[in-house]
Amino acid sequence: MSLRRFVLRRALSVVPVLFGVSAITFGLFHLTPGDPVSQLVALNPDVSAAEEARLRERWGLSGPVWRQYLAWLSNVLVGDFGRELRTGRAVSAIVWRRLPETVVLGLFGWTFAIAIAIPAGIYAAVHEGRLGDVASRVLALSGVSVPNFWLGLVLILVFSLYLGVFPVLPPSRLPLYHPETLRYLLLPGVTIGTAAAASVTRVLRTAMVEELNEEYVTAARARGLPERTVVFKHALRNSLVSVVTLAATLTAGIVAGSVVVESVFNWPGLGSEFVQAIDRREVNVVMAITLVTAVAVVIANFLADVLYAALDPRIGYD
Amino acid sequence: MTALLEVEDLTVRFHTEAGVVTAVDGLSYRVEAGETFGVVGESGAGKSVTALSVLGLIDDPGRIEGGEVRFKGEDLLSMDESERRSVRGDQIGLVFQDARAALNPAYTVGEQIAETIEHHLGYDPSAARDRAIRLLDRVGIAEAETRYSDHPHEFSGGMCQRAGIAMALSCDPDLVVADEPTTALDVTVQARVLDLLAELADEFDVAVQLVTHDLGVIAGTCDRAMVMYAGEAVETAPTEELYYDPKHPYTAGLLGSIPRLGDDADRLSTIPGTPPDPTDPPPGCRFHPRCPFAEEACTRTAPALVDPETGEPATLDGDRAAACLEYTQGLSGGLEYSVEVVDETDGRDGGGPDE
Amino acid sequence: MADRHRVADCSRRLDRRNLLATIGAAGSAGFAGCGGQGATEPSESAESDDDGDLFPLSVRLETGGTDERIRMVELIAESLQQTGYFETEVETYEWSAYLDRVINPAYQDNGYLPSIGLSGTFNPHSFCNAIHNSANIGACCNLGGIADPELDELLDSARYGIEVVEDSRLRAETYDEIWRTLAEERYTSFTHFGVETAVTTADVHGFAVWPFPEGVLGYGLFSPQDEQVAWIDRERPAGDSDLADLTSGGTLTAAVSTNPDSFDPPHSSDTTSTVVQNLLFEGLVANDVEGNVYPWLAERYELRDVRDVDRTAYEGYMRSVGTTAEGAVDVDEQVIVRHPEDDPTADDEVRVLLPDDAREAAADGTYGMWFRYELREGVEFHDGSELTAEDVVASYGYYENSTTAPQTFDSVLAVVAVDEYVVDVYAQVPDAEAERELPGVYVLSADQIADVEKGSIDPREGVTPVGTGPFEFVEFADEEYLEVSRFDDYWVGKRGVAEAFEWFDGPDAFPDGPLVDAVEVEVVPDDATRAGALRSGEVDLTYDVASATLDEFADDDGFLVHAVASGGYDYLQYPVNVEPWDDPRLREAVNHLIPRQRIVDNVLNGWAEPAWTPIPRIARGAGTADYEALETAVRPLNEYDVERAEELLEEMAGEYDESS
């Protein structure tokens, strides 16, 4: 089976997963007592009962739950996540405005994680048991253990308040896609990427140590290949398989981490919106963000599967 | 004139948590250009370590602690790593026991052969590819051109080993070190691979150091052979003489344990006892706990490798050597065994020691 | 500037006025989402101790909201427990769940002790009526079921009626009577009054805070009624700066904790919205920090007539409208007055007064009060048009059926333009608070109102808000930042402050408008990040800072903490209809066990005032004739006094033994 067909088939198999995710998301918010309308009424007792019924009708909140779900889903499929309760503004606009911010931050976090973890993991594996290895393992363990809100606050404390090299707040007027944004991405990106960097370092090191003990590595050396070819071309390629498997899980971690990190760094992405939306009890916003992030995680898993298959020829495409 | 490969006084130790293991202890031997030299012994005798030491491929926690490995007169061990690398794969090829494990699963078989060719011979990619395909064809891979792009998992075990041989020969080496090249294969495939190896050694005019635990393999392919026990050479002889006139009780014991074709009894199990604990070898002759002829002197004095005729210390260019006190101070009981030729036409069959 | 302060930070204090007004306008049906929705507990009384002695008495305290309030209730529980007379337990709830739970007529039957925080105003009524008037049982926030007809009448007479309207002394004395009654009956234990705080860097000079959050920027920057002005001088640190040092220019950057919901004044009630609207819009009058009223967009105003009417007086102008099954009035227009005898939850039809009919009634001379406001000429909106009476009338109309309509039309009857610069505003009943309450709307541009859909005066809807205020809108990025700049044609600046305001008698050095060039507002929800941004100097000002952090800033020379007594108050209420809480001695004892000083010192780090009397500083202007005398009389009843408490409890225990 060709790679293209494999990708296509895996892509199709994601569809039922997405439906499941949407059903769970919807269920979580609608099986809990108090629908958005009654919450709106609680916030604003001035809404008349007639208006309440009208709102229920308009927001697809009347009738049995499955019908409500279908109504919601059909709106979601065309990109309509409903409206904010307090302001009546379209939720999709909020999501689309904030999504790129989170994507950029997440990608930066990933880039940072990879940029640190790949060299560190390789270094530790090649110097297995020596000082550099021990140091990198201690650092990686701390990286995994440190909660990112704490790390974020410490980074702000040290780099923004004590050293004064980075601002606390992101630039409000700078366009997102501007070289200078990098400066503001650094602290939140490092914060969000640290846990991933640490996990990847650990996993890569373990995998690499294992691969370096494989006979094909000795064989490659016996063929007189330079050590960097042996390590980077031969051992690394096979070690990356386990990193890719981990990456899908870590993407979920980065998405979850964005909730805290964006709040700490005031980054105007989905994560900080999520916190505020919960605070304001904006069910539609919370639901939309939950769904979007769930979809992102599903897509990340899908990409990991594809990458996994591309990296390891032993994995059949069928 | 010096031999192609001269190993002198090679000592390799492994520093493990359980203690220091002397895997190879003061080993000396030579391989002449174009000849096939067998190294035989039980597992743990130090054969494979010797093979890897020749290429300087001993990894932590192992260390080559002494001796010289002279290839064409130059000591490989005192070269720097990059000089050594230019010898490896180019002038000395290595064939592994588990050929599939020796291939990187992520790259195609052909790529890995071509990679070596590009690296050592400076071929451009397409020329390297052509040469690799020719080699694959030469080692008997059908449809070599298509098979070039197969990954190792798509090859059978025998095909992997053929590819391994092709790879070892890819840069026209002078020496191929083959480390138990047939052990992992089906019995039926073993013979064919050995035949191929012999045929190619002849054709390419390449010397082979063939490492095996199977005396039968030696008989069919080698010009001379060395028997190792617990990291030391106990006997060196031209193959014929080794078979018909073994000078060391251990060699004699091995001959008694050669399996017949189709005999699936545990190989080498007929010598009673087990090889010594490598961290704590017995004093005196290392073989004495298992030797039916051992005497009190054997437990105290370690026998030197000598010419069994003269009792003089063995030299690199001597053809016969054995390490038994019988040849230096004599054993009171002597060595009472003889070789009985069962079937002269089948060199693989040998006799056992008499009762 | 108006005294609207719907303190809408839901997580901290309930907007008492908003909820209260709803009761008046829409009946209890409006609470379908809160109280009506069956949070009814099984009425097992926590203290029913059938077989044993009265003591130890099981007491369940319930609360929700901020950590500080929870810690306060725990402290009170601990204090009760220590006497040995009580077995206490503290139950805490998420804030909105807690509101759902307690704003329920059946809640009082549980016999629990609820604790809640509200926000009052300059109006002394806001500190007594909401929590004691029997009309507010099951509403906000008579949680204990207090139904004392004499008190109800007293409460009513302090605010409504010709007598108190015409005689402010009588009004103050009536309130004094209320405070004394409350102190003696102890239906409620007030614990403390809040302070409004803000922190600035030392670059900000002359700053001061307003008692309500909406004024935190606008008031500090320019308020001639209190001779208040702030400026930025980054060269030398603020401290004892005075007007001689003032410099003009610079941008003040403020960090706020929430995004403004809307720039449309009547269609939003969250704190940040009111804060930013306060920079752009102005009202007919302004208040000083003590609640005194000063003419602002109106050059002068006068009370022309008071008539002794109640709401039934409008009966002849009312029309009957249907009600819905859910008990709401089924009409599209704003209901100005609903007939007090009709109940939309019970009746199929109710009589209501609609805006057109209200104007007719006013024209016929049926009204409670008649105020006349004479507008200044030549006041310019940000779009260059001139303020006229038409704008004022349109603005009141724009408040109809808005989020803030309930609190506007609980007093306003009708607004009529007399000529281009004269507006008459009528009140429904004689109301002593009318002078402050009636003009409590922002004056918007009639042109803008005509152009937009209701509720969409907001840059997110493509509409640039237009007001007469000292700052004009520049730029807004949703959930990120807002920028406003000083309005060059600001009417006060064009005339000069002394010329503009007859009442102004401040120094000559007082500027003719705000000194900063621009104000930038950054939305920073995370508390630690907001404090960090202030610390790093990226912002000049923030508010909504936790009391522990306030202490840190107060100790740092680089920052100034500004505080003023606010309208916030916390209280604990007793289920007065449930045994044994119907015994005043028990309430008196518990009240003596509330460690008010320790609550303020230890829980709130000193950023509050102990409630020795039920009336805070800001409401003392109209709410007491002689505060000193009141405090002397009332404070001993609210002191922490374990001895007295135990004496009372012992007495009760003795009686209980006799009777059983």
Residue A258 in any domain: the answer is yes
Q: Shortest CB distance from A222 goes to which of B55, B101, B107?
A: B55
Q: Which of residues 118-157 of A touch B (CB under 8 A)?
A: 129
Do residue B88 and residue A223 have CB atoms under 8 angstroms apart?
A: yes
Residues C122 and C177 in one domain: yes
Residue A4 in any domain: the answer is no
Mean pLDDT across the stretch C320-343?
87
Do residue C326 and residue A43 have CB atoms under 8 angstroms apart?
A: no
Angle, vertex CA C83, rays to CA C82 and CA C84, nearest 5? 90
Q: What is the radius of gyration, based on Cα positions, of chain C? A: 25
pLDDT category at C9 given cuts 50, 70, 90 is very low
Q: Which of C437, C456, C489 is the last residue of a domain?
A: C437
Which letter does DSSP use for residue C613 in this model?
S
Q: Which of A50, A77, A104 is the last residue of a domain?
A: A77
Residues A200 and A288 in one domain: yes
pLDDT at B346: 46
Checking if the pLDDT of B190 tops 70, the result is yes
The amino acid occupying position B179 is D
Residues A195 and A290 in one domain: yes
Residue C2 in any domain: the answer is no
Residues C544 and C572 in one domain: no
Q: Which of A177-186, A269-278, C35-44, C339-348 has the lowest mean pLDDT?
A: C35-44
Do residue C29 and residue A49 have CB atoms under 8 angstroms apart?
A: yes
Residue A1 in any domain: the answer is no
Nearest to C193 by CA among C617, C625, C629, C655: C617
pLDDT category at A241 given cuts 50, 70, 90 is confident
Checking if the pLDDT of C438 tops 50, the result is yes
Residue A83 in any domain: the answer is no
What's the domain range around C182? 10-194+566-659
- Between A9 and B173, the higher pLDDT residue: B173
- Between A65 and A212, the higher pLDDT residue: A212
Q: Which of C536, C557, C578 is the last residue of a domain?
A: C557
Residues A56 and A103 in one domain: no
Residues A41 and A140 in one domain: no
Q: Which of A68-77, A122-131, B266-275 has the lowest mean pLDDT?
A: B266-275
- Between C45 and B336, the higher pLDDT residue: B336
Q: Which of residues 12-71 of A touch B (CB under 8 A)?
A: none
Q: Could you give the CA distance from residue C197 to residue C212 in angstroms, rounded to a whole number?
A: 9
Residues C62 and C158 in one domain: yes
> Which domains does chain B possess?
5-227 (3.40.50.300), 243-334 (no CATH)
- CATH number reported for the structural domain that contains residue C90 in this entry: 3.10.105
Residue C181 in any domain: the answer is yes
Mean pLDDT across the stretch C82-100?
89
Q: Which of A205-219, C17-31, C483-497 has the lowest mean pLDDT?
A: C17-31
Q: Shortest CB distance from C538 goes to which of A53, A169, A273?
A: A169
Contacts of C405 in chain A (CB under 8 A): 46
Q: How far is CA C617 from the centre of its chain?
A: 14
Checking if the pLDDT of C127 tops 80, the result is yes
Checking if the pLDDT of A318 tops 70, the result is no
Percent of chain C at pLDDT exceeding 70: 92
Checking if the pLDDT of B105 tops 50, the result is yes
Residues A243 and A200 in one domain: yes
Checking if the pLDDT of B155 tops 60, the result is yes
Residues A37 and A120 in one domain: no
* pTM more than 0.95: no
Is the CB of residue C597 less than 8 Å from the CB of residue C640? yes
C171 to chain A nearest CA, in Å?
31
Residues A131 and A199 in one domain: yes
pLDDT at C11: 37
Q: How far is CA C471 from the centre of its chain?
A: 25
- CATH number reported for the structural domain that contains residue C540 in this entry: 3.40.190.10
Q: Could you give the CA distance from residue C612 to residue C190 in angstroms, rounded to a whole number?
A: 8
pLDDT at C550: 92
Q: Could you give the CA distance from residue C468 to residue C490 in angstroms, rounded to a whole number?
A: 7
pLDDT category at B266 given cuts 50, 70, 90 is very low
Checking if the pLDDT of B297 tops 80, the result is yes
pLDDT category at A84 given cuts 50, 70, 90 is confident
Q: Could you give the CA distance from residue C261 to residue C402 in angstroms, rounded to a whole number?
A: 14
Q: Which of A139-148, B127-136, C164-173, C512-521 has the lowest mean pLDDT?
A: A139-148
Residues C546 and C580 in one domain: no
Q: Could you give the CA distance from residue C372 to residue A272 in angstroms, rounded to a whole number?
A: 49
Residue C287 in any domain: the answer is no
Residues C187 and C243 in one domain: no
Residues C364 and C431 in one domain: yes
Strand partners, C92: C63
Residue A123 in any domain: the answer is yes
Residue C454 in any domain: the answer is no
Q: Could you give the CA distance from residue C114 to residue C143 in angstroms, rounded to a whole number?
A: 7
pLDDT category at B270 given cuts 50, 70, 90 is low
What ipTM was assigned to the predicted interfaces of this complex? Answer: 0.83
What's the domain range around A33? 13-77
Residues C315 and C271 in one domain: no
pLDDT at A129: 85
Residues A99 and A58 in one domain: no
3-class DSSP assignment, residue B334: coil
Number of domains in chain A: 2
pLDDT category at B19 given cuts 50, 70, 90 is confident
Strand partners, B229: B232
Number of domains in chain C: 3
Residues C177 and C326 in one domain: no
Residue count (chain B): 355
For C515-549, write each residue's pLDDT tens digit.
999 999 999 988 889 999 999 999 999 998 888 88
Q: Which of C392, C413, C437 is the last residue of a domain?
A: C437
A4 and chain B in contact, CB less than 8 A: no
pLDDT at B187: 82
Residue A104 in any domain: the answer is yes
Checking if the pLDDT of B110 tops 90, the result is yes
Residues C507 and C576 in one domain: no
Checking if the pLDDT of A277 tops 60, the result is yes
pLDDT at C24: 33
In terms of CA atoms, which chain B residue is nearest residue A128? Answer: B60
Q: Which of A29, A48, A77 is the last residue of a domain?
A: A77
In terms of DSSP bridges, do strands B5-16 and C349-353 run parallel, antiparallel, or are they unpaired?
A: unpaired
Interface test with A, best of B57, B59, B104 (most A CBs within 10 A): B104
The amino acid occupying position C453 is E
Residues C25 and C90 in one domain: yes
For C605-646, write each residue's pLDDT tens digit.
999 999 999 999 999 989 999 999 999 999 999 999 999 999
Do residue A313 and residue B90 have CB atoms under 8 angstroms apart?
A: no
Q: Shortest CB distance from A268 goes to which of C325, C480, C529?
A: C480
Q: Shortest CB distance from A161 goes to which of C10, C19, C536?
A: C536
Residues C88 and C183 in one domain: yes
Q: Could you give the CA distance from residue B147 to residue B136 in angstroms, rounded to a whole number?
A: 8
Mean pLDDT across the stretch C257-278?
91
Checking if the pLDDT of C368 tops 50, the result is yes
In terms of CA atoms, which chain A residue is nearest residue C532? Answer: A168
Residues C72 and C186 in one domain: yes
- Within chain B, how many helices (H) and strands (E) appear? 10, 11
pLDDT at B268: 42
Q: Shortest CB distance from A234 goes to which of B60, B88, B104?
A: B104
- In angstroms, the Cα distances linking B75 to A198, B23, B28, B54, C32 are 44, 20, 14, 10, 96
A228 and chain B in contact, CB less than 8 A: no
Residue C451 in any domain: the answer is no
- Between A97 and A32, the higher pLDDT residue: A97
Checking if the pLDDT of C206 tops 90, the result is yes
Angle, vertex CA A152, rays to CA A146 and CA A154, nearest 5? 85
Residues A191 and A297 in one domain: yes
Residues A104 and A136 in one domain: yes
Residues A177 and A260 in one domain: yes
Q: Which of A136-150, B254-268, C158-172 has the lowest mean pLDDT?
A: B254-268
Contacts of C330 in chain A (CB under 8 A): 48, 50
Residues A73 and A114 in one domain: no
Mean pLDDT across the stretch B154-165?
91
Mean pLDDT across the stretch C501-513?
93
- List, in order, residues 6 or more apart from A158 with CB less than 8 Å away: none
Q: Which of A45, A77, A109 is the last residue of a domain?
A: A77
Interface test with B, best of A3, A209, A210, A216 (most B CBs within 10 A): A216
pLDDT at B252: 87
Mean pLDDT across the stretch B13-17?
88
Q: Could you give the CA distance from residue C181 to residue A77 in angstroms, rounded to a whole number?
A: 63
Q: How far is CA C591 from the centre of its chain?
A: 25
